[in-house]
Amino acid sequence: MHDFDRIRPMMFASLLPQLTLEEKAALCTGASAWTTTAIPRLSIPSVWVSDGPHGVRKVSDPMAVIAQSHVATAYPTASATACSWDVGLLRELGEALADEARALGVDVLLGPGVNMKRTPLCGRNFEYFSEDPVLTGNLAAALINGMQSRGVGASIKHFAANNQECDRDRISAVVDERALRELYLRAFEIAVTQAQPWTVMCAYNRLNGTYCSEHKQLLTDILRTEWGFTGLVMSDWGAVHNRPAGISAGLDLEMPGPKPRRVQAVIAAVTSSGGDALPLADLDVCAGRVLQLVDRAHGPQRSTPAVPIDRHALARRIAAQSAVLLKNSGVLPLGPANARHRVSSLAVIGHSAKVALYQGNGSSRINPSQVDVPFVELQKLLRDIETSYSEGCAADGSTTAEGIASAVALAHGADAAVLFVGLPGSKESEGFDRPDLDLTPGQVDLIRAVGAAQPRTVVVLTCGSAIGMSGWLDSVAAVLFIGFSGQAAGGAVADVLCGRVNPSGKLAETFPLRLADTPAYINYPGENGVVRYGEGLFMGYRYYDSKDVPVQFPFGHGLSYTTFAYAHARLSRPVFSDAEGVDVSVDVTNTGAVAGSEVVQIYVHQHAPRLSRPCKELKAFAKVALAPGETRTVTMHLEARAFAYYDPAFAQWIAESDAYDVLIGASSTDIRATLTGTLQAATDHHVPLNQDSTIREWLAHPRGAVVFGPMFEQMMRGLQTGLGAGEGGGDMLGLDFGAIIQGLPLRTMLSFQEAHLPQPADVIVAGLLAQVR
């Protein structure tokens, strides 16, 4: 929370007692597509919100949901900026977004989106950061803190489990509690606790049967009571189904407006004496939060002067820092920086080399202030190299035999070729999901043909999520993934290809070999209005690495024009408590000839968890810039939460006393050092015993073993005697009864012997439970 939120007395919030019932109800519904309701009688102004999250989509007419927007900077989307793994860069982006929003009269920018990339087919993945909640949450927190430090509110979205566009308005995501807490809520939790966004936007979908707009456990119990959220919860546009129920659940503001029938429904519910009555106190809470948002939007922090910057230059720098070099057989960089592979002529191919593909389709589409042309930007940096162009494929990714032949001839006659390909809006967009992982068939044919003609072919890949490459990857020398990198993508690509910028991006999601390999494959898109998250915790690299499934490129992968060595990895202490945590340090050296940046990734593996866990989970990361030959020590702190999992049996996060591997890597599969430390928890949690507890659970429970242990030994002796087993007692009638019966509920085992017991099995178990408790 920022200083002005703590010390400035609320002005408009103090007017709540003066509002009429009708005004309170109106205040909790938008006045237009983009503004809250003003109360002129009390001089309460409205708040203007606008689509983001990678630019300001401000329309002139507040009543128009879809209309041409004002010119603004189109920055790289979240799918691109996530690959920077750079929290400082994301904060800088947030500051720039806020200054531009203020200049356009916008109070709240609707972003960032922090939904997990459960499947690469989600059409809106370009708006989301990653398949990992720790990476997503920390980047989102940095962006939010940057925005709100400049006096513009964020609206983190879409809360929660909105992980597909297919049937998004009504589908029920059925998610078990561990997966929900550890994956789909975790990024929201990190961002809320680290940045306190002014607003949270609820999702369209149902979560475990209940619409998110009416989900009290989500909007109040978890968000506010557990995480301490103090801001406003608004709906996504059209996500409300029952307005009084939404208010009861903690949905403060319905958007868009106006919706006079909704307002009347709230008034009727408050004045009703029936079972559907809405307590006035609930409405007061929601109206009060809207007034608090008005205070924040019109407070003195808005007078903070904007920082004058070249926004297009910033967009170019962010895009270049986010580019991921997936493959390089030595052809890159182009030009004088590459003494081994001299190039005097270059063929540039692809429609998007001249008409840049730089953003996705949907509500986040920005009207850019300018757009770089990749071919032109390459020409500027390669003045001593002859550059020529062939379209090769059309805007929709289709090709003709003549087009491919022309591109092949151009490539064959040059020293190298750069081929721009990507997903057109007809294949990747908000509102629908992709049908497959592939580029268009025409683009695949073009890549193969050009690659066959020119062994020094570089593919520049533009899309919002993972792409299948197995059909053409071996045909080319290099691949540069840039995501949707905004209006300055052309300049950024030229900077990286020509060596002005050393690529330092790392993948924020796994690129699989096949769609059939993806974790959600058999549980997507759902049926009869329900999608079951049957993969549970094993999503993204958690699945691939735990099952040892081969992938095209792993999570965290990214190449550089230099090399890095890791040495002297160490923990601050070999044994540590959950209260103090542990520091992880490693020395990283740039062993190459050019300056570069490396992303150091920390994963954790528990040796003997009571509940199933992925083989490794990202817990911390840091980006370090190094000159040639320079060594720096990178240190990251792991607190108790880094070792914990969520246990539904206790409804809390638990870090168990155990040995843990701390894996230091350049990707999820490129582990450079493994350290082992022991965590000593202040409290060891054991599953509570009950009437249905198994014999194994009784013996594993410290108090249960004391109370029940003697009885168990007596039971085993009786079985051995009755079945004629020897002293070893293991193999009786060819069966290991000791192992068999431990899986039985104690009550069931006792019921088999009730004829020989002094009391019924239920009574005996109840007595044992009384002793344990």
Helix (H) / strand (E) containing 553: strand 551-553
Helix (H) / strand (E) containing 144: helix 133-149
- For residue 520, the number of C-alpha atoms closer than 13 Å in the C-beta half-sphere is 22
Helix, strand, or coil (residue 463): coil
C-alpha angle 307-311-315 in degrees, rounded to nearest 5: 130
CA distance 271 to 165: 38
Tokens 């593919």 sit on residue = 459
What phi and psi, each to the nearest 5 degrees, are found at residue 124? -105, 15
Tokens 């707009």 sit on residue = 213
Q: Give the bridge partners for 567, in sequence order.
A: 587
- Residue 720 in tokens: 């051995």
CA torsion 315-317-321-326 (nearest 10°) is 80
The runs of H, that is alpha helices, within 627-754 are 695-700, 702-722, 737-742, 746-751
**Residue 374 identity:** P
Residue 718 gets the label, from left (phi > 0), alpha (psi -120 to 50) or beta, of alpha
Q: For residue 283, which of 249, 239, 240, 258 has the smallest C-alpha distance?
A: 249
CA distance 361 to 424: 9
What phi and psi, each to the nearest 5 degrees, are found at residue 409? -60, -40
Catalytic residue among 99, 107, 236, 372: 236
Q: For residue 409, which of 378, 383, 382, 388 has the smallest C-alpha distance?
A: 388
- Angle between helix axes 489-497 and 374-381 (nearest 10 degrees) is 40
**DSSP letters along 587-653, please?**
EEEE-SSS-EEEEEEEEEEESS-SS---S-EEEEEEEEEE-TT-EEEEEEEE-GGGG-EEETTTTEE
Instruction: Check the CA dihedral 384-390-392-396 and report its sign.
Output: positive
Helix (H) / strand (E) containing 766: helix 761-772
Q: How far is CA 304 from CA 25, 54, 141, 151, 539, in A?
A: 33, 22, 21, 8, 43
**DSSP letters along 167-193, please?**
TTTT-EEE--HHHIIIIITHHHHHHHH
The residue count of the chain comes to 773
End-to-end Cα spacing for the chain? 42
Is 236 a known active-site residue?
yes
Q: For residue 5, which of 140, 111, 153 has the smallest C-alpha distance?
A: 153
CA distance 683 to 246: 38
- Angle between helix axes 87-103 and 133-149 (nearest 10 degrees) is 40
CA distance 335 to 387: 12
**Residue 173 identity:** A
C-alpha angle 144-75-438 in degrees, rounded to nearest 5: 110
CA distance 618 to 132: 8
- Residue 408 in tokens: 């092949």
Residue 85 DSSP code = -
Q: Which residues are catalytic?
A: 236
